[in-house]
Amino acid sequence: MADVLTRHGHLRVRAFGSSMLPAIRPGDVLCIERCTPEAARPGDVLLTRHDERVLAHRLIRKERHGSEDVLVTRGDALWHADPSHPASMLLGRVTAISRDGVMLASSRSITWLQRLYGLTLTEATRRWSPVRAWVASTAAAALRTTIGSPSHST
């Protein structure tokens, strides 16, 4: 990705995950343009490297740690900011979002209601995951018992 941005100045990437709901939905295509750390502004959605992952999260603030500039980002639907990371890990800025074939401008801010909506979805998903797993395992066990029972005929 860094290579494509360096050579061409822009890139299109499909979004996965729900950390940026409702601004960015899974399956949206993000239009990314090369961006320097100096040009990045709080509120921009930035594409950055985090170890082996690439994240598109909103810039909360820029800080200076010693002689190094760092970026602090956070997904709109997440409670806590990402660990700060060197500004050199910045790949680009989201300039537009393609959703179902319609181009949307990338917003530099979200309302408190949009953030609450994203946080609520994330919490609901997180809390329901164990319940879904229990239902699936219980249903699978019941099917094995029913299918394997002597009274079951085909």
The model's pLDDT over 91-137, given as tens digits with 9 standing for 90+, comes to 999 999 999 989 898 777 788 888 888 888 878 877 776 666 776 77
Torsion sign, CA atoms 131, 136, 19, 23: negative
> Is 66 within a domain?
yes
**What pLDDT is stored for residue 58 in this prediction?**
96
> Is 154 within a domain?
no
Find the domain containing 74 and state its range: 2-147
CATH of the domain at 11: 2.10.109.10
Domain count, the chain: 1
- Please enumerate in sequence order all residues whose Cβ is within 8 A of that of 96, keeping only pairs 6 or more positions apart, or say none: 30, 31, 103, 104, 105, 106
| DSSP symbol at 9 | S
Token pair recorded at residue 141: 């066990």
Other CB atoms closer than 10 Å to residue 107's CB: what's the count? 17
